[in-house]
């Protein structure tokens, strides 16, 4: 009986067509509305803080993430002392730099009323998205000043 059930299950699996390959997000770029009603074109890996679902966005902002990293004391130290970013010290400094950028972005996001901050985001209708790099950079600079 068990043998018959196993044979029947194997026959059913052999007759079931294989699922089509699911394309990765890098292979598919939505140009038209994706059916969810979202007005934004995003890659979730570009989200820094705040909401990360495109259909939930109402007032997002974007920043130049690399410029913000360059503004941190940790990245400046990496350049000044020629520390290898792949070394233990370099990884520690880069982690701290990313943490500072995240904290500054989140602070400006909540202060200014943005729902999220992104490295890269655009609207389908080509309306510009607020770039708040300067505000976040000034927040990073303010946080680096030693209280005397």
The answer to whether the predicted template modeling score (pTM) of the entire model surpasses 0.75 is no
Round the CA-based radius of gyration of the chain to a whole number and report it: 23
Element (H or E) spanning 111, and its range?
A: helix 88-112
The two structure tokens encoding residue 27: 């292979």
Give the span between the Cα atoms of 39 and 34, in whole angstroms: 9
**Distance between alpha carbon 65 and the CA centroid of its chain, in Å?**
10
Cβ(104)–Cβ(141) below 8 Å? no
Give the span between the Cα atoms of 12 and 68, in whole angstroms: 57
Q: What are phi and psi of 26, to 5 degrees?
A: -75, -25
The two structure tokens encoding residue 96: 């701290």
Q: What is the pLDDT of residue 5?
A: 53
Q: What is the pLDDT of residue 31?
A: 41
pLDDT digits (tens, 9 = 90+) for 102-143: 999 999 999 999 999 999 999 988 999 999 999 999 999 877
């Amino acid at each position: 009986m068990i043998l018959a059930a196993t044979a029947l299950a194997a026959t059913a699996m052999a007759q079931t067509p294989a699922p089509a390959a699911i394309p990765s997000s890098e292979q598919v770029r939505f140009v038209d509305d994706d059916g969810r009603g979202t007005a934004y074109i995003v890659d979730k890996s570009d989200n820094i803080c705040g909401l990360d679902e495109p259909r939930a966005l109402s007032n997002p902002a974007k920043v130049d993430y690399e410029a913000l990293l360059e503004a941190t004391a940790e990245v400046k130290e990496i350049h000044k002392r020629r520390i290898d970013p792949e070394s233990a010290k370099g990884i520690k400094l880069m982690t701290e730099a990313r943490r500072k950028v995240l904290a500054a972005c989140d602070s400006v996001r909540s202060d200014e009323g943005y729902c999220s901050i992104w490295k890269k985001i655009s609207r389908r209708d080509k309306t510009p998205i607020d770039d708040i790099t300067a505000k976040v950079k000034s927040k990073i600079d303010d946080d680096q000043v030693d209280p005397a």
